[in-house]
Amino acid sequence: MADRGGRGRGGGFQGGYRGSRDGGSERGGRGGSFRGGRGGGAPPNESRSKVYSPEGRIPRPDQAVTKLEDEVIENSKTSVKGVTASLGSLAVTQKDVSGNVFPCRPAFASNGQNVVLWSNYFPVNVEAAYFYKYELEFKEEGQPVAKTGKEQGKSRDVKGRKLHLAMEQVLQQLCSQNKKVGMASQFKNHIIATKKLSFSANPMTVQIPAESQDRQPEILSVTVRGPTEIALPDLISYIRSMDDHGERAIYPKYPEVIDALDIILGHTARSKLGEVTSIGGSRLFPFGKDEKTASLMQNFRALLAARGFFQSVRIGTGRLLLNTNVTHGVFRISGKLDDVMKNLQIQPVSQNDFRLKKLVGAFAKFLPKTRVLATFTVTDGTKVRRSKALQGMVNRLAGTMAEGPNRPQIEPGWEYPGPKSIKFWLADDDGNRYITVHDYYKKKYGINLQNLPVLNIGTNKRPTFFPAEFLEIQRGQSVKAKLTADETTAMLAFACRTPYENALSIAQDARETLKYDNNSTLKDFGLSVGKQLATVNGRVLTIPAVAYIDAGKKPVAVSPYNGSWNMRDVRVVKPGALISKWTYINMLQHENDVNRQIPKGTMEDFALFMSKNMGINIAKSPVDLPKSHMVFKTAMGAGLENLFSYAEKQGIQHIMFILPQKDTSGLYTKIKRLGDCQFGIHTTCMVSRHLFKEKNFSYYSNVGLKINLKAGGVNHKLKSDSGLLKDGQTMFVGYDVTHPTNMGVVEGKEPPSLVGLVASVDKDLAQWPARAWEQKAKQEMLGSTLTEAFKSRLQLWQSKNSNSLPENIVIFRDGVSEGQFAQVIDQELPMMREACRLMYTTKKQPKLSIVVSVKRHQTRFYPTDLNEMSRSGNIKNGTVVDRGVTLASYWDFFLTAHDALQGTARPAHYTVLLDEVFRSKFGERAANELERLTHELCYLFGRATKAVSICPPAYYADIVCERARAHRPEYDVSDVESVATSESESTSAAVKQVHRRLQDTMYYM
């Protein structure tokens, strides 16, 4: 099923860069500071002060939609009252009340200042018709590919470009056989038709045109199955009434119809092979005259950033909507391969040139499977171009990997040889002999080849050597790549655009690329896309005040401004346990960097600042180590283990590691694995350049906040407790599952998915101890371990709260897609219920609410008024939207709690899957209370002096998953075509578990 508007984990770049969790530059704890936390800001951009306003007017939100939304809420109020009454007597063994699962929206919330916003949705008009969906299976029959003839091979699956060309031929045949029938396809395995199709033959055969005259067309067998009826009248009836006839648990609604509409709306753009590249079911990238690209070759890797568009049909109240957004992806660079090599200064490399070998090796790793156009000269002297997949760059092993008696010969001493250093066996009229690639082209074609590495367009066993001059990398080839720090910086610079720029691109460029206008296919199916983006009603919530204490230990309130605040003249609310023994060590690249160490005096200044200015319990001087520095080579050997062993014997509680730069070498992960898991000693990594700055109080403050949390302290809290927070009887839980991405993996050895679970233990919602564990790769739903982990959080709460258990539990489940909502209720909820049953025994069971929180979706909002715009051109922080682009009959809302300093702010999307808490306590005010609570939670992220973009339970759970990945270095794969471990041995299961001394702490900060 296609991604439904990205409410799951879609979006972001292809590659290791997952995008800021906060849609602009706000990074959830990296900013905010002792001196104000404003950061460096972005370069001046006139579009930051512009409001998108086509034709100079702002249309009102659709009044028919608003009227229907109000009617739906009014009709549901009786149901809400009944459920509220039933919740008051919830029994221990009672099954979920039907109204609790996918609960009706109790009301549209009303708190806050009203605003009108643009959305990135176009209304879609559709006629009440029936369509027919067919499924196709393609098989390659192994026909000979050259006139010389070969035995027919086994049939193979058809993929990629060949599949697209085959579908074109199928559509041509079917259109000729079915006059006046509209058809659309995603050019993979489905066709949508306006009428049932007739077939002259099934299976049918199609021919893919030959690339050149010396080739025969390829013949494929196509089996068509179906049709499945797609009933639009049912969908239209639901949209107009929002009546699901009691089938609330079926979610998302009408997925087959929405999939069909997605295929139809994407057909025309996808049909432009070579001009538009499709990734997945929803992302389309223009190449050629309309392409928007930027080089990512900072690290000798032949990568390209490209701008494209996301589109997906969504069901709204009273209308269909087309969610359209700007998206970015990573692609292979295109162009003549010799030009690419010369631009990067790629040349043949000897085995002794370690620097160049590393750089050229980085380039070489991205070549396998790259599609190229190879220029051949055939027997009659005609030049032809054929599409080929590169095996890779020829290296010193080419001779040993080849089969046969006359293997290629590589001149000794070369890692990546040039054409004069590679010999192959040639049998021609002049006899049998070895000849270099250079001499062969000189003799046969009179061409002097450039001194560039040679490519293999055959296989390792049967290589075909080809000069770079005769190869052209085809455009639009996406690649999964874990971006380096430099590449990520370049990608962010390319992708970071103001709301005005993105809104303009969607309203103009996307319409052109995605062919929303003058589209005969849409006309055939009775579809049309509205000319303007839809406006919606939003509200800006009141910003909460946060509390600290002053030098006299009296409470003091601080009022955030633009979503952030500073700690000037205030101290943390509660210091953690005394850190009586701590130490530090300088990590150096080389021994001769010893003069770049941070001196002991600087670290003592840092400790004094934490103690005097922040109120953190830490000794003023570190424990002296036998040696104040360690080089990387020693650290990656046994050096770190020896250091931790020494620290453990000395009773050291916290080690501060000073790195020369942000680590990408595996040192950071090793530090965290040893500290968190093997030795149970808290660690903090710092970057030396920040410490070299005199009195860098901003940096001191940010690091100090993390240290206090690890020690069990409370950094700040809300000034006023209200609602669920007031009585301290509610436990908040967050959990998430992260999956390995952008890794080349060996089948059967896939890295596991990792689960992170956090839960509050105090009324201030400051401490969130965690649990993490593994489960089967790419499995989103949690297994039975959830029961034990959830039980452990209840036990911890009990130990911190006078042996009592919480009356309410509010759970934020991070990151599941809409198609998995029902699984959360059916599979995960029973395990949490079981944990409660085991803990509460005969006591009254707690009331539970489950809210799914999602950041990686494609919904965006833009201001319509200069007076309602942030300094970066975004909507104001605290803006919430719960109508216009939502389903009135379900309970969800979009919240932009943070202030995005750059780019376009991405709201968090919250959907209530289960509610036994809010409606029973607040009745019709439940929607207001949930939005207020969620918004205020975003001001309680402990390591930042700013509001974060997603509520802390979900955010912390995601961080726990990231830390759990660091505890498993054997799964750290950074290159697209390689599978490697950062350490020679795999990490034992015992070492992957957090040490007992740290289990009940925020070690992951």
pLDDT at residue 980 in the model: 28
pTM of the model: 0.90
**What φ, ψ does residue 574 adopt, rounded to 5°?**
-150, 120
Work out the pLDDT band at 970, boundaries 50, 70, 90.
Answer: confident
| pLDDT average, residue stretch 614-630 | 97
Cα–Cα distance for residue pair 120/135, rounded to 1 Å: 32
**Residue 974 pLDDT exceeds 60:** no
pLDDT at residue 776 in the model: 80
Cα–Cα distance for residue pair 638/635, rounded to 1 Å: 6
| pLDDT average, residue stretch 653-666 | 89
pLDDT per position as a tens digit, 161-188: 899 999 999 999 999 999 999 999 999 9
Question: 730-738 and 808-814 as β-strands: parallel, antiparallel, unpaired?
Answer: parallel
pLDDT at residue 214 in the model: 59
Cα–Cα distance for residue pair 764/762, rounded to 1 Å: 5
Give the start-end residues of each E strand in 232-318: 276-279, 283-286, 293-295, 303-316
**When comparing pLDDT for 59 and 212, which is higher?**
59
Neighbours of 44 (CB within 10 A): 7
pLDDT per position as a tens digit, 8-51: 333 333 333 333 333 443 333 333 333 333 333 444 577 788 99
Mean pLDDT of the chain: 89
pLDDT at residue 972 in the model: 62
Single out the residue of 419, 457, 539 nearest to residue 112, CA to CA. Answer: 539
Cα–Cα distance for residue pair 87/510, rounded to 1 Å: 48
Q: What structural domains does the chain harbor?
A: 46-120+714-968+979-988 (3.30.420.10), 124-334+482-532 (no CATH), 335-473 (2.170.260.10), 575-710 (3.40.50.2300)
pLDDT at residue 84 in the model: 53
Phi/psi-derived region of residue 140, left when phi > 0, alpha when psi is between -120 and 50, beta in every other case: beta
pLDDT at residue 30 in the model: 34
- Contact yes or no for 610/618 (Cβ under 8 A): yes
Question: 130-140 and 218-231 as β-strands: parallel, antiparallel, unpaired?
Answer: antiparallel
Q: At what angle do helices 232-241 and 255-270 cross, to 10 degrees?
A: 110
Q: Tokens for 612?
A: 């005097």
pLDDT at residue 852 in the model: 98
Cα–Cα distance for residue pair 228/245, rounded to 1 Å: 23
Work out the pLDDT band at 106, boundaries 50, 70, 90.
Answer: very high
pLDDT per position as a tens digit, 414-429: 999 999 999 999 998 8
pLDDT at residue 213 in the model: 60
| pLDDT average, residue stretch 971-991 | 45
Cα–Cα distance for residue pair 712/942, rounded to 1 Å: 11
pLDDT per position as a tens digit, 131-154: 999 999 999 875 444 444 444 444
Neighbours of 864 (CB within 10 A): 21
Work out the pLDDT band at 90, boundaries 50, 70, 90.
Answer: very low
**When comparing pLDDT for 207 and 746, which is higher?**
207
| DSSP state string for 518-535 | S-HHHHHTTEEE-SSPPE
- Asked, as a colleague might, if the bond just before 499 is cis with ω within 30 of 0, I would say no
**Residue 56 pLDDT exceeds 70:** yes
Residue 557: strand pairing partners: 547
Q: Tokens for 608?
A: 């004094």
pLDDT per position as a tens digit, 497-541: 999 999 999 999 999 999 999 999 999 999 999 999 999 999 999
User: Which range, of 221-225, 363-367, 979-983, averages the lowest pLDDT?
Assistant: 979-983
pLDDT at residue 144 in the model: 45
**When comparing pLDDT for 247 and 4, which is higher?**
247
**Residue 197 pLDDT exceeds 80:** yes
| pLDDT average, residue stretch 62-73 | 98
Single out the residue of 710, 596, 612 nearest to residue 653, CA to CA. Answer: 710
pLDDT per position as a tens digit, 730-742: 999 999 998 876 5
* DSSP three-state, residue 380: coil
- Contact yes or no for 880/935 (Cβ under 8 A): yes
Give the start-end residues of each E strand in 371-522: 371-377, 383-389, 392-393, 409-410, 414-416, 422-428, 431-436, 455-456, 465-466, 471-473
Cα–Cα distance for residue pair 88/100, rounded to 1 Å: 13
Cα–Cα distance for residue pair 23/949, rounded to 1 Å: 8
pLDDT at residue 55 in the model: 83
pLDDT per position as a tens digit, 910-928: 999 999 999 999 999 999 9
**What φ, ψ does residue 577 adopt, rounded to 5°?**
-60, 150
pLDDT per position as a tens digit, 308-355: 999 999 999 999 999 999 999 999 999 999 999 999 999 999 999 999
Neighbours of 798 (CB within 10 A): 15
**When comparing pLDDT for 400 and 360, which is higher?**
360
Question: Dihedral (C-alpha) 469, 471, 475, 476: value to the nearest 10 degrees?
Answer: -140
pLDDT at residue 225 in the model: 97
Per-residue burial over 767-776, b if 16 or more Cβ lie within 10 Å, else e, is bbbbbbbbbe
* DSSP three-state, residue 156: strand
Quick one: what percent of the chain has pLDDT higher than 70?
88
Single out the residue of 967, 963, 950 nearest to residue 813, CA to CA. Answer: 950
- Contact yes or no for 434/409 (Cβ under 8 A): yes
pLDDT per position as a tens digit, 264-310: 999 999 999 999 999 999 999 999 888 999 999 988 999 999 999 99
pLDDT at residue 702 in the model: 96
**Residue 724 pLDDT exceeds 60:** yes
Single out the residue of 730, 695, 702, 751 nearest to residue 811, CA to CA. Answer: 730
Cα–Cα distance for residue pair 250/657, rounded to 1 Å: 51
User: Which range, of 13-27, 408-422, 555-569, 657-671, averages the lowest pLDDT?
Assistant: 13-27
The helix or strand, by DSSP H or E, that contains position 895, with its residue range, turns out to be strand 892-896
**Residue 837 pLDDT exceeds 60:** yes
Cα angle at 687 between 683 and 689, to 5 degrees? 155
- Asked, as a colleague might, if the bond just before 103 is cis with ω within 30 of 0, I would say no
pLDDT at residue 120 in the model: 99
